[in-house]
Structure 1
């Protein structure tokens, strides 16, 4: 897929919640698919590999430990995760390093309202995380529609509108745009 063949969808509904020393991105998107189908995309290792910034060593639909491999960097990195809550097909919550991801699915007349609550330590990461999930969920939606496109991950995401999305989400949050995360800057210059 070339950057000219893909255009990011409109900005998602976003919000920010502060709790003590952490920040939670609240990213909401309506999908035209039943909750069970979206749940499978969030938990099935084969489907995760087709859209997420990581792969999983097992289905995430049950609580307990798992290993994910981050593939948004030049060097894949294994990370231990803990699925804290799994209530198919409505709630999935797991750790990701020091982050916490909570996926909530609510059936609607036209499909499902997906709300991702991604908790991070640094407020400056909120627009970056929103831009990344925006692209990933665009890819997931194409997969769910039966028209898959290759995953958009890491520094390559810049070629598919990540910088513009990061800037737009930074403006919505009134957070200065600090650009690419440090671990991706060298990759972007090399490409």
Structure 2
């Protein structure tokens, strides 16, 4: 896929909440698929590899330890994860490093309302995380529709509108745009 063949969807319903010394992105997206189908995309390793910024060493439908391999640059990085809650097909919550991700799936007449609550330590990351999940969920939606496109992740995401999305979400949240994460800056110039 080329950058000319893909355009990001409009900004998602998103908010930023402060909780003690941490920040939570609340990212909501309406999908045209039932919760069971969306659940599979969130938990099955083969489907995750097709859209997420990481792969999983096991199905995430059950509580317990897991290894998520981040694929956001040329050096994949294994990260310890812990599925703390798995209530198919409505709630998935796990830690990755110091981050906490909570996926809530609510059936709607037209499909599923997906709400991601991604908690990070530094509020500067909220627009970056929103831009990244925005692109990933665009890819997930294509996968669910049966028209998959290649994953958009890491430094290559810059070629597919990540910088513009990061800027738009930064303005929306009133958070300064600090640009591309340091670990990807060298890779972006090479893409």
Q: Which residue of 2 aligns with 1:180?
A: 180
Using structure 1 for the length normalisation, give the TM-score: 0.99
The offset of 1:180, in angstroms, is 0.1
Q: Which residue of 1 aligns with 2:137?
A: 137
Distance (Å, rounded) in 2 between the aligned partners of 1:19 and 1:80: 23
**Equivalent runs, 1:43-82 vs 2, <5 Å:** 43-82=43-82
The offset of 1:190, in angstroms, is 1.9
Unaligned runs of 5+ in 1: none
Distance (Å, rounded) in 2 between the aligned partners of 1:30 and 1:128: 21
Q: Residue by residue, what CA displacement relative to the aligned partner does 1:23-77 show, whole Å, maximum 9, x if unpaired?
A: 0000000000000000000000000000000000000000000111001111000
**Equivalent runs, 1:81-96 vs 2, <5 Å:** 81-96=81-96
Using structure 2 for the length normalisation, give the TM-score: 0.99
Runs of 4+ in structure 1 off by over 3 angstroms are none
Q: Which residue of 2 aligns with 1:157?
A: 157
Q: Which residue of 2 aligns with 1:34?
A: 34
Distance (Å, rounded) in 2 between the aligned partners of 1:72 and 1:155: 7
How many residues get paired? 191
